[in-house]
Structure 1
Amino acid sequence: MLKKVITLCYRKIIDAGNTSYWDKFVHEDSFAEFKMQAQFYNQEQQFTTFAEMLLNIPEAEKLHFLVSAAITGYLRQLNGIIPDILDNLGRRFLTFENFKFEIINSDINDPEKHKVAVNFFSKPLIWHSTIDNLLLVSQFKETDEEETFTNLFQLQPFVSIHSIKNMH
Structure 2
Amino acid sequence: MQKRVIVLCYRKIIDIRSVKQWDKLVFESTYLEFKMQAQNFSHGTAYTSYADLLRNVPNAQRLTGMVTPSVTGYIQQLGGIMPDVLNNIGRRFLTFSKFQLEIINSDIHDKDKHQVAVNFYSGPLVWHDTIDNYLLISEDMAENQLSAENDSMPTNLMQLQPYVNISSLQYLN
TM range, smaller chain: over 0.9
- CA drift of 1:83 comes to 0.3
Letter in 1 for 2:31: F
- CA drift of 1:45 comes to 4.2
| Structure 2 equivalent of residue 120 of structure 1 | 120
Query: Is the 1:18–1:24 Cα contact (8 Å) retained in structure 2?
Result: yes
Letter in 2 for 1:163: S
Q: Supply the distance in 2 between the matched residues of 1:102 and 1:44 (Cα, whole angstroms).
A: 25
Q: Supply the distance in 2 between the matched residues of 1:43 and 1:142 (Cα, whole angstroms).
A: 54
Query: Is the 1:39–1:45 Cα contact (8 Å) retained in structure 2?
Result: no
Q: Supply the distance in 2 between the matched residues of 1:114 and 1:26 (Cα, whole angstroms).
A: 11
TM normalised by structure 1 equals 0.97
For residues 128-143 of structure 1, the aligned pairs below 5 Å read 128-143=128-143
**Secondary structure of 1:58's partner?**
coil
TM normalised by structure 2 equals 0.94
Q: Structure 1 residue runs of 4+, over 3 Å off?
A: none
| Structure 2 equivalent of residue 99 of structure 1 | 99
Structure 2: give runs of 5+ residues left out of the alignment.
none
Structure 1 range deviating more: 30-39 or 134-143: 134-143
Letter in 2 for 1:167: L
| Structure 2 equivalent of residue 32 of structure 1 | 32
Q: Supply the distance in 2 between the matched residues of 1:134 and 1:102 (Cα, whole angstroms).
A: 28
| Structure 2 equivalent of residue 64 of structure 1 | 64
- CA drift of 1:58 comes to 3.0
Letter in 1 for 2:116: V
Letter in 2 for 1:51: A
| Structure 2 equivalent of residue 147 of structure 1 | 152
Number of aligned positions between the proteins:
168
Percentage identity across aligned positions?
52
For residues 11-90 of structure 1, the aligned pairs below 5 Å read 11-90=11-90
